[in-house]
Structure 1
Amino acid sequence: MLRMTEIKLPIEQADTLKHQDDQIRAAILKRLEIPASDLIRFEIFKRGVDARKSHAILYVYNIDAEVKNEARILARFKKDPHIKPAPDTGYTFVATANTSQATSSQPRPVVVGFGPAGIFAALILAQAGFRPIVLERGKEVRKRTQDTWGLWRKRRLNPESNVQFGEGGAGTFSDGKLYSQIKDPKHLGRKVLQEFVKAGAPEEILYVSHPHIGTFKLVSMVEEMRNTIISLGGEIRFDSRVTEIDIQDQQVQGVTLQSGEYLATNHLVLAVGHSARDTFEMAYNKGIYIEAKPFSIGFRIEHPQSLIDRARYGRSYSDDILKKLGAADYRLVHHAQNGRSVYSFCMCPGGTVVAATSEPNRVVTNGMSQYSRNERNANAGIVVGITPEVDYPGHPLAGVELQRQLESHAFVLGGSNYSAPGQLIGDFLANKPSTEFGEVTPSYTPGVHLTNLDSALPAFAIAAIREAIPAFAKQIANFDLADGILTGVETRTSSPIRIKRDDDTLQSINTKGLFPCGEGAGYAGGILSAAVDGIRVAEAVSLALVS
């Protein structure tokens, strides 16, 4: 196969899949200067959008094509950087269990946590024949969904079953974004996307440049992946919080559950997510090496989605463009005069702001979208980067304590009933309390209590965000819309700690047999990167099991 990159076609030429294929076929023949009879087949590897000229929006394709006389064509275009052999993106297991291992009475590998990292760690181990045991503190995904709605609709929080904890992890209640900027030389991200398609995701995620799934589709996909793991000999236990890791002579020996049950294992994958604060504390108290890491804090911002669409699509804005490209998104960065960086985080086109706390009497916001992305508002985190060296020095868990302080204060600002504190953008910029909503109705449930957010974050963060919003309006017209809504607080952008691991074995640097994994351990940020890290850790465990 040959890979051709930067094939650009006007989006008007892709009214249907047949039109798209016809145009791509013609572009391939023109690019390679070959007759139609020499093109055997082709497939879209990636499709992006070039909207830099709003009056002429283009699809940009990377195409893999099977052709006759491939060697001759490569020789003819050897100086063309856009025509190369297509890389092998197939997945190969680094180790598999033999018959004696699969039926052995030796302790099985244990995966703690069943979010994206834990799911893929367990899936790869199961596919390789190692029969993992998965321990998830929360409930299966549909029961968990009921508990999550309990907070959103009735202000009832279940600390063990919510947006953060339960089958599927925090990513289940999100936009379902499946793109990342991680380096991926082994094409593990391709394996992730292929497994998602097997589990029911739309096939377009294999090639669109910014794939997403949405919460409702994620629920059924997670169930299907669970069933696959079980069918391969894995075991998944819900309502099974790990309260202690048994370590002897710096080697993992097993885990104790809240029920008192003890499970022996010498290979423990810790994929607990960024909100498992009690697990972080337990691990630290057991002597496992943990260090503080940077994260970000801020607010959720909401605008009418139509405002973002018109700003991003410009003169091309129309119902037809929206049907083809969907609700528009954005990525923004501003370097403030006080030295802080402000950026948009987890932008959710046509989505909602959600209550994402996992601890009583605290308020946390996040964003999510369904696959259709057809809600009235656009929302994103507008967050400020902070570092342990400057903002929470000293203790490795100081970032956790800072998060808790901000979330507790937000709970009080919101009225102490899980409503979130909010403020109109115009009032925030003027530093005056908001008293009534304007044209933008906030989407956060159980509700937004209007107030002044000036005390919701440290003064440096407030100053940086106040400077950034008008600066962003120079890139997106009316981003500083006076009636837009800010909702606080966004504190769980990423884990505030890192459970440091060896670069080669992926085991804890001071605890053999412990494999820190995913976002909670400080090695991922988002569904795709967490899933890829789950695969990498599963491979490391597989090699350890057969060594």
Structure 2
Amino acid sequence: MIRINEVKLSIDEDISLLKNKIAKQLRINHQDIIEYSIYKESIDARKRNEIYFVYIVDVVVKNEAQVLSKNKNLKISPDVSYKDVQSGGKELKDSPIIIGSGPAGMFGALILAQRGYKPILLERGADVDTRTADVDRFWKEGKLNVESNVQFGEGGAGTFSDGKLTTRIKDIRCRKVLEEFVLAGSPEEILYSYKPHIGTDILKNVVKRIRENIIELGGQVRFNSKVTDILIENGAITGVVVNNTEKIEAQQIILAIGHSARDTYEMLYERGISIRQKPFSIGVRIEHPQELINTSQYKQHSEHPRLGAADYRLTYQCTNGRAAYTFCMCPGGIVVAAASELETVVTNGMSEYARDKANANSALLIQINTEDFESKHPLAGVEFQRKWERAAYELGGRNYTAPAQLVKDFLIDEDSKEVGEVRPSYLPKVKMTNLKYCLPDYVIQSMREAIVEMDKKLKGFSVDDAIMTGVETRSSAPIRIDRDGDTMESLSTKGIYPVGEGGGYAGGIISAAVDGIKAAEKIISKYKPFI
């Protein structure tokens, strides 16, 4: 199989022409192409008047050796298939336990189940259907279930997001994750799209099918099963306590608790697990009309049916030394209430697969350093987050209404009185006010500077009626659970594998899933399967 780069189609050329383009580039007749598959698709919109789809393609041809000899620049397609690690020789007394069913936990459990290790997946929250009902109730009625919400429950925080599958890591396991998503019902295009996404609506069914697969392979998945204690003897894990009552023995535990399990952080710290502070970011959600973003990115092609909703990613280094950036941009999406603790306001963004809502939204975040915390305690970052989440709750009126402000008012430090043309999508509702009362001064100043500069890169970013809703505090964990670089085990306790965003080692669905797979592989390489 031959890999070809830079095969281009204009946005007005049908995908059916791709075979002819491949034949031309290989200098062969299209009849000599046995089959081909798209490995990667991207969009080139750098030129104002021309937009292209650019493909990397793998091709099977007649007389491959002859074709390769004619073009020395061509290469054989690399093997991107996932390779199972060899099982170890030790006897495993008890089933491995996975704590948390976000991407890291879900894929750690899936890999173990596929290899016959009969994992037990413990999730503090509810199954995805029950969880969806609980989230809807919170958004519509302001009734928060602290164990079943946007942060906790089947699929983790990513279930209520855009379902982005982009990642900066270069790891062959990324392909494995995408393939498992496709097998579970995701669109096949995620295997090659430059910016793949699933959308919350599809992702809910996908995580359900992966759960069913784990169970079919001999694993267990238990909801409403909060790990309230861990059992340690002689520096090694021996089991967990669930819901303060049930003891489950285990010598291998994948700790995939997510970035919002603050009570679990506290329990781990009290049990002597090595935890340290980690920088993170806070800010707001900023909403623009999706049409404005489309026009800014695609110019006169903005309404072309093949392009869909445009996205963006912006960065800026503030004069005070802090990084400002947009994060988790949701084209055609909504801003969602993402609190997991009573009397706090937290925002996040979400899109469905179609990305067809009126607004685009993104986190606008400012770098927070550990020096900004009020103490050296390992969990000081948690208290920092809580402080501003509670301030937002107070400013919104103490009923989970979120404080919001127009960009034009934010830039000149005036209270906002009413919304403009951009209608806020946050539920239950927003209160127009001044965001300076629920964020640190240096964050406010940094955002004011960044918005003006980002507008130079994306025309319309600082449009008057764009609306900012606060606060966003959960972009990543405020802690890191120390682990060995080779074994992935906790530095303080053998048999515990801290993974994913909650452990401080990942930054999205794919990277978290890959981290969970790696931990599963470490267990597999040491022990025999049960079957």
| TM interval, short-chain normalised | over 0.9
Please state whether the residue corresponding to 1:534 is helix, strand or coil. helix
Deviation at 1:69, TM superposition (A): 3.1
Matching residue of 1:170: 157
Structure 1 residue 522 corresponds to structure 2 residue 504: yes
Per-residue deviation, residues 119-138 of structure 1 (Å, max 9, x unmatched): 10000000000000011000
Q: Residues of 2 paired with 1:231 and 1:96: CA distance? A: 21
Of 209, 229, 233, which aligns to 1:248? 233
Please state whether the residue corresponding to 1:233 is helix, strand or coil. coil
Q: Residues of 2 paired with 1:295 and 1:398: CA distance? A: 12
Asked whether the equivalents of residues 47 and 60 of structure 1 are also in contact (C-alpha less than 8 Å), the reply is: yes
Give the alignment's TM-score, normalised by structure 1. 0.94
Matching residue of 2:138: 151
Asked whether the equivalents of residues 137 and 241 of structure 1 are also in contact (C-alpha less than 8 Å), the reply is: yes
Matching residue of 1:272: 257
Matching residue of 2:57: 63
Asked whether the equivalents of residues 54 and 316 of structure 1 are also in contact (C-alpha less than 8 Å), the reply is: no
Matching residue of 2:273: 288
The number of residue pairs the alignment matches comes to 529
Q: Residues of 2 paired with 1:214 and 1:73: CA distance? A: 41
Of 156, 177, 194, which aligns to 1:192? 177
After superposition, residues 456-495 of structure 1 pair within 5 angstroms as 456-495=438-477
Deviation at 1:76, TM superposition (A): 3.9
Please state whether the residue corresponding to 1:540 is helix, strand or coil. helix
Deviation at 1:61, TM superposition (A): 0.3
Identical positions, percent? 52
Of 78, 81, 87, which aligns to 1:90? 81
Per-residue deviation, residues 463-491 of structure 1 (Å, max 9, x unmatched): 11001111111122221111110000000
Matching residue of 1:449: 431
Deviation at 1:390, TM superposition (A): 4.8
Per-residue deviation, residues 8-64 of structure 1 (Å, max 9, x unmatched): 2211102xxxxx13x221222222222334322110011000111131000010000
Q: Residues of 2 paired with 1:435 and 1:36: CA distance? A: 64
Question: Unaligned stretches of 5+ in structure 1?
Answer: 15-19
Matching residue of 2:314: 332
Q: Residues of 2 paired with 1:107 and 1:311: CA distance? A: 57
Matching residue of 1:233: 218
Matching residue of 1:216: 201
Give the alignment's TM-score, normalised by structure 2. 0.97
Asked whether the equivalents of residues 96 and 129 of structure 1 are also in contact (C-alpha less than 8 Å), the reply is: no
Deviation at 1:341, TM superposition (A): 1.1
Asked whether the equivalents of residues 373 and 384 of structure 2 are also in contact (C-alpha less than 8 Å), the reply is: no
Matching residue of 2:33: 39
Asked whether the equivalents of residues 290 and 332 of structure 2 are also in contact (C-alpha less than 8 Å), the reply is: yes
Residue 130 of structure 2 aligns to which amino acid in structure 1? Answer: K
Deviation at 1:263, TM superposition (A): 0.4
Structure 1 residue 342 corresponds to structure 2 residue 329: no
Residue 131 of structure 2 aligns to which amino acid in structure 1? Answer: R
Deviation at 1:373, TM superposition (A): 0.5
Matching residue of 1:507: 489
Matching residue of 1:28: 22
Of 188, 197, 206, which aligns to 1:203? 188
Deviation at 1:310, TM superposition (A): 0.8
Matching residue of 1:351: 333
Deviation at 1:259, TM superposition (A): 4.2
Matching residue of 2:243: 258
Asked whether the equivalents of residues 46 and 209 of structure 1 are also in contact (C-alpha less than 8 Å), the reply is: yes
Deviation at 1:97, TM superposition (A): 8.4
Per-residue deviation, residues 390-426 of structure 1 (Å, max 9, x unmatched): 5555111111110010101010011110000001110
Q: Residues of 2 paired with 1:37 and 1:349: CA distance? A: 40
Q: Residues of 2 paired with 1:497 and 1:145: CA distance? A: 28
Greater shift, 384-393 or 128-137, is seen at 384-393
Matching residue of 2:3: 3
Deviation at 1:239, TM superposition (A): 0.6
Please state whether the residue corresponding to 1:151 is helix, strand or coil. helix
Q: Residues of 2 paired with 1:534 and 1:486: CA distance? A: 34
Q: Residues of 1 paired with 2:421 and 2:331: CA distance? A: 18
Matching residue of 1:414: 396
Q: Residues of 1 paired with 2:452 and 2:94: CA distance? A: 58
Q: Residues of 2 paired with 1:239 and 1:212: CA distance? A: 28
Residue 389 of structure 2 aligns to which amino acid in structure 1? Answer: E
Please state whether the residue corresponding to 1:134 is helix, strand or coil. strand
Residue 101 of structure 2 aligns to which amino acid in structure 1? Answer: F
Residue 36 of structure 1 aligns to which amino acid in structure 2? Answer: H
Question: Unaligned stretches of 5+ in structure 2?
Answer: none
Asked whether the equivalents of residues 88 and 525 of structure 2 are also in contact (C-alpha less than 8 Å), the reply is: no
Per-residue deviation, residues 178-214 of structure 1 (Å, max 9, x unmatched): 1100121xx1111111111111111111111111111
Matching residue of 1:532: 514
Please state whether the residue corresponding to 2:158 is helix, strand or coil. helix
Q: Residues of 2 paired with 1:183 and 1:305: CA distance? A: 31
Residue 201 of structure 1 aligns to which amino acid in structure 2? Answer: S
Deviation at 1:315, TM superposition (A): 2.1
Deviation at 1:293, TM superposition (A): 1.1
Deviation at 1:519, TM superposition (A): 0.8
Q: Residues of 1 paired with 2:473 and 2:404: CA distance? A: 15
Of 64, 67, 73, which aligns to 1:73? 67
Deviation at 1:537, TM superposition (A): 1.1
Aligned Cα root-mean-square deviation (Å): 1.5
Structure 1 residue 383 corresponds to structure 2 residue 365: yes
Q: Residues of 1 paired with 2:77 and 2:374: CA distance? A: 47
Alpha-carbon distance change, 161 to 366 in structure 1, aligned in 2, over 3 angstroms:
same
Residue 414 of structure 1 aligns to which amino acid in structure 2? Answer: G
Q: Residues of 1 paired with 2:373 and 2:363: CA distance? A: 20
Asked whether the equivalents of residues 99 and 257 of structure 2 are also in contact (C-alpha less than 8 Å), the reply is: yes
Matching residue of 2:129: 142
Asked whether the equivalents of residues 267 and 541 of structure 1 are also in contact (C-alpha less than 8 Å), the reply is: yes
Please state whether the residue corresponding to 1:519 is helix, strand or coil. helix
Residue 126 of structure 1 aligns to which amino acid in structure 2? Answer: A
Q: Residues of 1 paired with 2:37 and 2:53: CA distance? A: 15
